[in-house]
Structure 1
Amino acid sequence: MKPNKLKRHFDSKHPSFAGKDTNYFRSKADGFKKARLDTAGKYHKQNVAAVEASYLVALKIARAMKPHTIAEDLLLPAAKDIVRVMIGDKFVTKLSAISLSNDTVHRRIDDMSADILDQVIQEIKSAPLPISSLMNLRTL
């Protein structure tokens, strides 16, 4: 948003905050960030663990060349049943934090393939010999 439009919006929609100092807004933002995490930062760690688990499942699905929907339709319900029987009901809710929808698995696989492509390109660029000379050596 352009600065003048932002100021007009701020003044018209939020008149009670018009006279506040910028430090007030910074402290509010810090308060909101702290409210999202507990003292040990567990919310963030659990979120990171759920994303990592989602990537691991997507990797296994890609390696097995199975449809993306298998995670949402089969793997997650089976994992919840296993955890419920082996460990208990209170741990099943942690599995619900793992996003395994069709679109998410597809996006994670695309992310991993793009990362692999970037790594290969970087390896080729950092190779001491040009790629054409490496190909000529292999054909001899």
Structure 2
Amino acid sequence: MEKRKKRKVDSECCQFNDEWNIKYFFVKANDKVLCLICKDSVAVLKEYNIRRHYESKHGSSYSHITGAERTKNFESFQHSLHSQQAFFSKKNSENETSTRASYKVAYVLAKKGKPFTDGSIIKECIVEAAGELCPEKVNLFKMISLGSNTVARRIEDLGGDIIRQIKEKAKRFCWYSLALDESTDVCDTSQLLVFVVLIVNLM
């Protein structure tokens, strides 16, 4: 006998119905179907699953609310969700910004040949200046991580990225030339200087 194909649960999914907003306090957000009351999501978009969640967890508290009052409850829950999403979006943006700032300071320290521990001094200066110029954003500047270990990791990351870029560009090298020289640092230690001229095939 020919085997019958198993019906996948996903194949039973349907489109989100806007009536479920007020009826069950559910919304569709970022490809998920969320309960506005408890912020849980349902795995399969079916009215049965949404209704079961609502009746088992929130029916006793909200089923008696109808009409304008129910609409008001829905709008209040929806506003709370949007505020929460905006908060986390802002936090993620602030974290990304402070990380970029940390890398830029580490880059300057490496370029100038300064000790990694100078990062903490720079941060203290930035926070003091921000306290005078824009006190409402002092906490944002305090988020910049510039401890010696962090600066060392940032510089390692930057160095690794340079090596990666060179390897990628090396695949298109047509010709290159090297020039070697010697210099000394502030401690009178000899340093090898390597100058590389590259001709890259852009085709």
Do they fold alike, i.e. is TM over 0.5? yes
Residue type matched to 2:128 in 1?
Answer: D
Which residue of 2 is the match for residue 67 of structure 1?
115
Q: CA deviation at 1:27?
A: 3.3
- Written as runs of structure 1 = structure 2, the 5 A alignment for 1:28-107 is 38-39=85-86, 41-72=89-120, 74-88=121-135, 90-107=136-153
1:126 to partner: Cα distance: 2.0
For normalisation by structure 1, the TM-score amounts to 0.63
Of 92, 114, 120 in structure 1, the residue corresponding to residue 160 of structure 2 is: 114
Structure 1 distance, partners of 2:85, 2:165, is 36
1:39 partner SS? helix
Q: Aligned equivalents of 1:117 and 1:100: distance in 2?
A: 23
Greater strand share, 1 or 2?
2
In structure 2, stretches of 5+ residues that fail to align are 1-39, 43-80, 179-196, 198-203
Cα distance in 1 for residues equivalent to 2:151 and 2:115: 10
Larger radius of gyration: 2
5+ residue gaps in structure 1?
1-25, 29-33
Q: Distance in 1 between matches of 2:142 and 2:127?
A: 8
Query: What are the superposed Cα offsets for residues 94-116 of structure 1, whole Å, 9 maximum, x if unpaired?
Result: 11111111111100100000110
Alignment identity in percent?
A: 26
**Number of corresponding residues:** 102
Distance across 2 between alignment mates of 1:39 and 1:86:
27
- Normalising by the residue count of structure 2, what TM-score does the alignment of the two structures yield? 0.44
Structure having the larger proportion of residues in helix: 1
Q: Which residue of 1 is the match for residue 12 of structure 2? A: none
Question: Structure with the greater relative contact order (CA < 8 A, sep ≥ 6): 1 or 2?
Answer: 1
Map Cα deviations across residues 39-85 of structure 1 (whole Å, 9 max, x no partner).
Answer: 2611111010010000010011111110001011x111111111112
